[in-house]
Amino acid sequence: MKVLVIGGGGREHALCWKLKRSPSVSEVVCAPGNPGIAKEARCVAVNAEDIKDLLQLARDEQPQLVVVGPEVPLVMGLGDRLRTEGFAVYGPDRAAAELEGSKSFSKTLMAEAGVPTAAFETHTDPDQAEACIRRFGAPVVVKASGLAAGKGVIVARTIDEAVTAARDMLSGNSFGEAGSQVVIEEFLEGEEASCLFIVSGDTILPLDSSQDHKALLDGDKGPNTGGMGAYSPAPCVTPAIAGQVLERIARPIIAALKKRGIEFIGTLYAGVMLTEDGPKTLEFNVRFGDPECQPLMSRLQSDLGEVLLAAAEKRLDGVRLDWDDRAALCVVVVSDGYPGGFEKGQPIAGLGAIEQAGAIVFHAGTAEKNGHIVNAGGRVLGITALGDDVSEARLRAYQALEKLDWPGGFYRRDIGYRAIAREEK
Ligand code: AMP
Ligand code: GLY
């Protein structure tokens, strides 16, 4: 079959890479893709947020399956529009995508469904938000309710910091419309994990566990980013914990959506904090994690095209996933300066040598200029390697990374340290 993939980041490269290797898939088309994706798919220069042009592309290409990678087109209703025209789509409709698009909706639904999560209140009035923060006490977490590319969350150590953040958001200064409503949350302590599920109506198929590093600097210090690295499996997610996340978090939230008449088809991503009282939900996303998708796809052995088509056509029941027993680890290389400003167009060399060293080079924010790969975004590459355990996968990824020739690139040196500490125990 022909598959159309929407998006052009590291996650979409991993999806296209795996689809290309799926026996059921004969052709992959990607909009807009990137220079790495161009090795796996035919890239078409249509922006992933341009709903009208994407619909026209689908009409022109007539794919048997459309896979929507990022959250923005899903929240904009691309899934609904494609389904109305009869396409098989992997990715939820607009109403279900609100689980990610509105933290206030998501928290309300969690409360309704009895899904464990941090205590919270939602506010639009700055004085009431401040009063709430004072009641909760520090540390406390302030979140812009709308989409903010992973940057709309302030984990405040002091009341003053939280009040300033909430007032900035509500005045529209920090995140525009996305901050017109804030969620104020109790601070949760523990280790974080990413638990992803392929969902099709009542059928919920767990993916193997993964973990990412959101902070920019070694030791999980510095500002939050979209993700500086990830690995799978995550040793902290024992089979017992995975079972709890499925039964106490994924099933009830999908059931609560259904009660409201909303069906979910696509990836449910539960970001969970493993607390002393069990796993608690930090957030839901409605797509594969980026960069979690890179190690997950590197380990998946099943035919991805077949699985996603089965989900899109509501016949996921009975489908199972096979995984490589080895671990995979992805180190993200960013443009030095990210998540602040940086210069674009810097030439990047050594990618061939990285691949010869046995790692997979997933492209994110790259472009091609005069026959050279250059940086074109904040997160630029995801260097991914397999190994018998996370320690070995990390060793291989970092050994391969020594071949990278890009002075303007920056990456963390300690991806996987929590998992490795557990492995060494
Ligand atoms: P979110 O986008 O809601 O997952 O938040 C981004 C990051 O902020 C999470 O990955 C956590 O590291 C942190 N965070 C969010 N909510 C909380 C919380 N209630 N307690 C502690 N840390 C949190
Ligand atoms: N890696 C975090 C995310 O995809 O939201």
Mind listing the pLDDT tens digit for each residue in 171-209? Answer: 877 777 777 889 999 999 999 999 999 999 999 999 999
What amino acid is encoded at 377 in this protein?
G
> Cβ < 6 Å from ligand 2: which residues?
150, 212, 227, 285, 289-290, 292
Report whether residue 377 contacts ligand 1, using a CB cutoff of 6 Å.
no
Q: Which ligand is nearest to the CA of 146?
A: 1
CA 153 to ligand 1 center in whole angstroms:
7
Below-70 pLDDT ranges, the chain: 150
* pLDDT of res. 310: 98
CA of 282 to the centre of ligand 1 (A): 6
Q: How far does residue 350's CA lie from ligand 2's centre (Å)?
A: 27
Contact criterion met (CB below 8 Å) for 376 and 367: yes
Substitution candidate for ligand 1 out of 104, 161, 196, 283 with most atoms within 8 A of CB: 283
Residue whose structure tokens are 């990374």: 401
Domains assigned to the chain: 2-94 (3.40.50.20), 125-180 (3.30.1490.20), 189-312 (3.30.470.20), 327-424 (3.90.600.10)
Cα 294 to ligand 1 centroid, rounded to whole Å = 22
Q: Which ligand is nearest to the CA of 210?
A: 2
Ligand 2 mean position, distance from CA 425 (Å): 28
| Mean pLDDT rounded to a whole number for the chain | 95
pLDDT at 150: 65
Which residue, judged by its Cα, is nearest atom 3 of ligand 2? 289
List, for residues 74-126, the tens digit of each pLDDT value: 999 999 999 999 999 999 999 999 999 998 899 999 999 999 999 999 999 98
Q: Is the CB of 187 under 6 A from ligand 1?
A: yes
Kindly give the distance from the C-alpha atom of residue 128 to the centroid of ligand 2, in angstroms, as a whole number: 30
- Nearest alpha carbon, ligand 2 atom 4: 289
Nearest to 2 by CA among 332, 336, 316, 309: 309
Task: Please name the residue whose Cα sits nearest to atom 9 of ligand 1.
Answer: 282
Query: C-alpha dihedral over 238, 241, 242, 244, to 10 degrees?
Result: 160
Residue 148 has a pLDDT of 79
Helix 304-312 vs helix 10-20: crossing angle, to nearest 10: 100
